[in-house]
Amino acid sequence: MSTDTVIHHSETDPGAGVNTRKVFIKTYGCQMNVYDSLRMGDALASEGYVQTEQMEDADLILLNTCHIREKAAEKVYSALGRLREMKKAREAGGQELMVGVTGCVAQAEGEEILRRAPAVDVVIGPQTYHRLPEALRRARQGNRVVDTEYAVEDKFEHLPTAEKARIRSRGVTSFLTVQEGCDKFCTFCVVPYTRGAEVSRPLPQILDEAQRLAEAGVREVTLLGQNVNAWRGEGPDGREWGLGDLLYRLAEVAGLARLRYTTSHPRDMDDRLIEAHRDLRSLMPYLHLPVQSGSDRILKAMNRRHTAQEYLRLVERIRRARPDIAMSGDFIVGFPGESDEDFQDTLRIVETVGYAQAFSFKYSIRPGTPGAELADQVPEDVKAERLERLQALLLKQQADFAKSCVGKVIDLLLEKPGRNEGQVIGRSPWLQSVNVDAKTSQIGDIIPVRIIGTGPNSLFAEPARDVVGT
């Protein structure tokens, strides 16, 4: 799952001297990129950098890029063109400005970025950002650096631990990467080429980071992976653990009240993981399970390796285990060869499942993927018309699910202050944004609230004072 949002991370260091270097990190794309940016910030903090929200104040600007969306590379080059002018102006005044490109576009483009963008000093792939400080030292000596090799060493072992103060400044929810890469090779996807093969982070590292997050006040952790439910690791009992086993163990970490995970592949939803949804109250009743298409013919062309009926049977099993679970999904319309009937199959699977939230996109060619070589590309106007119809159905389902919440009493994790005095914004168990007046509560509290209304992108609630919270 990815987004088009751009996220700026900021940290302050009151004890830092006036000569402390500042870094601005601009983050595009998925939750894993957000996590990667945080860890890059941690690595740079150990080198004396502090983060700033103002690009103009930075001595180092990093673009942490995503390659999922259409024309992603060209958007990066456009941004680099603007940074070139900024760098020229800075150098004319005798000041240094270093520029780096990280993430999946860096992995895909490599040396081409240095050729097309003279302002860039370092290009770092997603598997080597633990080597960013060393790359910057080399670049400062006049050597432009490209490091996009898949690291032999474990990058997580080489990343410094975030201090509790920095964790607290990030809030009461946190991402935690447990798995990277993908072995599925869907024909539309660049992830296997930019993130590499599926790799699972060792169990002790995950537990150590989860413990540190909890001790710093984090109440909710979202486990991340390109195929997060492909995670495998050696358990303390000597047998191979899967994601379900990991969730049972994380549920024992004191202070962690909520667990989530994303993004899942239908082929990796095993019995133990479904049992975790049944047994663990801390595992939130929300599951992002992409299907991409409702047509078996298109699913085969996409190399998804499951049918529409297999997906529906899986959803049935999950809902039997956890009746209050809300489903989320991803959909691609206009994949090469998609007929009107194939598209109708997608509409049918959406109607059958009933999604509380979903992400839908027009197919766009990714150079180097098998889908780019397929004949019978669907015209853009046809893709646009189909996407409009699909999104209308998905938005109606999302609105219907929100309306079904009105009147319910739910446990709400308070995450941040709202716009109005006394207002607090939290997340429902189903990942909805909820506004509530909670003057007597604190950020990080989990309080019972009654849903009283819906908005375009959020719910409204009042404290349920007649209910004992958890």
Q: Which of 286, 391, 400 is nearest to 332 (CA)?
A: 391
268: CB partners within 8 A, 6+ apart = 227, 229, 230, 243
Report the DSSP beta bridge partners of residue 332. 361
Sort strands 326-333 and 433-437 into parallel, antiparallel or unpaired. unpaired
What's the CATH code, domain 409-463?
2.40.50.140
Question: Is the CATH code 3.80.30.20 the one for domain 160-404?
Answer: yes
Residue 282 CA to residue 291 CA, distance in Å, equals: 26
Q: What are phi and psi of 63, to 5 degrees?
A: -105, 110
Q: Where are the domains of the chain?
A: 6-147, 160-404, 409-463
Exposure class string for 136-170: b at 16+ Cβ within 10 A, else e: bebbeeeeebbbbeebeeebbeebeebeeebbeeb
Report the DSSP beta bridge partners of residue 240. 234
Sort strands 423-427 and 409-417 into parallel, antiparallel or unpaired. antiparallel
Domains 6-147 and 160-404 alike in fold:
no
List residues forming the annotated binding site for [4Fe-4S] cluster: 30, 66, 104, 182, 186, 189
List residues forming the annotated binding site: 30, 66, 104, 182, 186, 189
What DSSP assignment string belongs to 212-237?
Answer: HHHHTT--EEEEE-TTGGG-EEE-TT
Question: HSE on the CB side for 285, CA within 13 Å?
Answer: 16
What is the residue-level pLDDT of the chain in tens, covering all 470 positions? 333 333 333 333 333 333 589 999 999 878 888 999 998 998 899 888 999 999 999 999 999 998 876 677 888 999 999 999 999 999 898 899 999 999 989 998 899 999 999 999 999 998 888 889 999 999 999 899 999 887 766 777 777 788 887 888 889 999 999 999 999 999 999 888 888 889 999 999 999 999 999 999 999 999 999 999 999 999 999 999 999 999 999 999 999 999 999 999 999 999 999 999 999 999 999 999 999 999 999 999 999 999 999 999 999 999 999 999 999 999 999 999 999 999 999 999 999 999 999 999 999 888 888 998 898 999 999 999 999 999 999 999 999 999 999 999 999 999 999 888 889 999 999 999 999 998 888 999 999 999 999 998 899 999 997 554 44
Domain 6-147: CATH superfamily is Methylthiotransferase, N-terminal domain (3.40.50.12160)
pTM, 2 dp: 0.86
